[in-house]
Structure 1
Amino acid sequence: MIETDEISSMADRIIERSPGDPAKKEINPLLKFALELGPLLVFFFANNRGEQLAATFPSLNELGGPLFIATALFMAALAISLAVSYAIQRTLPMMPLVSGIVVLVFGGLTLYLQDETFIKMKPTIVNGLFAAILLGGLLFGKSLLGYVFDQAFKLNAEGWRKLTLNWGLFFVFLAIVNEVVWRNFSTDFWVAFKVWATMPITIVFMLTQFPLIKKHSLEPIGEGKR
């Protein structure tokens, strides 16, 4: 039988290392952004060009309409993104990994049951899960956001607590917005909103957090690890 310590050791080698671990390899921020945004662009393109893709590759017709083709390609793109990330860092980033697992589950249900509701609920589930993780961590005195931003800047304990709280509440907001959009608007509008609105909203939110980051930074912004 595999001992508990062995399982923990395997997880440490595969899943993202803890903040500040000197063995943790860094990744170029632009490449990281491309790996995260790439699958969404594939999803948007496939949904808008689903009929042309099906005409070019007839086997895709077996998946169903454009949204189902987009879902399958989205799942494949996410898998490739995680594989590339692992090949570079030798670990899997925590939040994209969680998102990928939810996509595989709900995307699989979408394709198997031919019900687009499941893939539309995915952002709600992912954002709700992230909110629960961050806010739940705070209840136990843990500021878990360091797993995401530790390479970018260093904050004191109060700064990490405040930033974690803000991000937790922001994920609650994103979950609610997704529910409103997919339940009240067309599928094409939901896809466009998911790709072209969610990212700008997130960027604007991130910019609003810089005063807090500057106030609680342990080192000048931009003078992180070299």
Structure 2
Amino acid sequence: MTERPGPGWHKTALELGPVAAFFAGYVLLKDQTFTIAGTAYDGFIVVTALFVPLILISTAALWRLTGRLSHMQIVTAVLVTVFGGLSVWLNDERFFKMKPTLIYLLFASVLFFGLYRGRSYLAMVLSEAMPLTPAGWMKLTRRMAWFFVALAVANEAIWRTMSTDAWVNFKTFGLPVAMFAFFIAQSGLMQAHTPPPTEGPD
């Protein structure tokens, strides 16, 4: 399907809105307990139960707005549904906290597999927005793959050793900041491997 142009702020709101709503819901409900059908659920589980349909609705709306979804958006929606659903069904927050680990390990595995085949799958996703030479894409892909591994390790370390508050803050603010810092740190690579502009005919 051909991608349809849409208002930039709509797309940004649909991508970031569910995460912001999860954080706001957690802050409001984290100290509360809800008894449903005789079972007590804490605020984290209730917010997770609300987050799953919200991410599905926002993903569907994003597809309707733009006419396409990235592989990352599809995988994220599926894993949120599976592991969020498990957390709610089993009343165990650990499943939802594991979800970022699996997402980042999956992305790292895909990028490493592409590198093994001598290809940059990252270039297939970002080449239109960020032109680089083939050598530059291979270097950036290798760094991105290891960065995903580092994020997976960080997520595991934080949810297993720190409080739920710390994990929610890490997921809401730490991960986006880390991603932004990573790309800022690659500015030298991008400058060195930006292809020269093609000259048109005189």
Same fold judged by TM-score > 0.5? Answer: yes
Taking structure 2 as the reference length, what is the TM-score of the superposition? 0.86
Deviations 1:27-54 (A, max 9, x none): 6655444332221111111111126998
Deviations 1:171-221 (A, max 9, x none): 00000000000001111111111101111111111111122122212366x
User: What does residue range 193-204 of structure 1 map to in structure 2 within 5 Å?
Assistant: 193-204=170-181
For these two proteins, the number of residue pairs brought into alignment is 197
Deviations 1:131-162 (A, max 9, x none): 11111111112211124323312112111111
Match of 1:213 in 2: 190
The separation in 2 between residues aligned to 1:213 and 1:33, in whole angstroms, is 24
User: What does residue range 43-122 of structure 1 map to in structure 2 within 5 Å?
Assistant: 43-50=22-29, 64-122=41-99
The separation in 2 between residues aligned to 1:30 and 1:65, in whole angstroms, is 34
The separation in 2 between residues aligned to 1:154 and 1:28, in whole angstroms, is 23
The separation in 2 between residues aligned to 1:63 and 1:84, in whole angstroms, is 33
Match of 2:118 in 1: 141
Superposition CA RMSD, Å: 2.6
Name which structure has the greater RCO, CA cutoff 8 Å, separation 6+.
1
Distance 1:120 1:36, change over 3 A: same
What's the CA shift for 1:68?
1.0
Distance 1:136 1:153, change over 3 A: same
Amino acid at match of 1:93: S
Contact 1:110–1:119 (Cα < 8 Å) also in 2: yes
The separation in 2 between residues aligned to 1:216 and 1:28, in whole angstroms, is 31
2:148 paired residue among 158, 171, 195:
171
**Higher mean C-alpha displacement, 136-145 vs 122-131:** 136-145
**Higher mean C-alpha displacement, 137-146 vs 124-133:** 137-146
The separation in 2 between residues aligned to 1:105 and 1:185, in whole angstroms, is 24
Amino acid at match of 1:74: F
Distance 1:34 1:182, change over 3 A: same
The separation in 1 between residues aligned to 2:139 and 2:7, in whole angstroms, is 26
The share of aligned pairs that are identical, in percent, is: 37
1:41 paired residue among 20, 23, 42:
20
Contact 1:94–1:147 (Cα < 8 Å) also in 2: no
Contact 1:134–1:165 (Cα < 8 Å) also in 2: yes
Which blocks of at least 5 consecutive residues in structure 1 are unaligned? 1-12, 14-22, 221-226
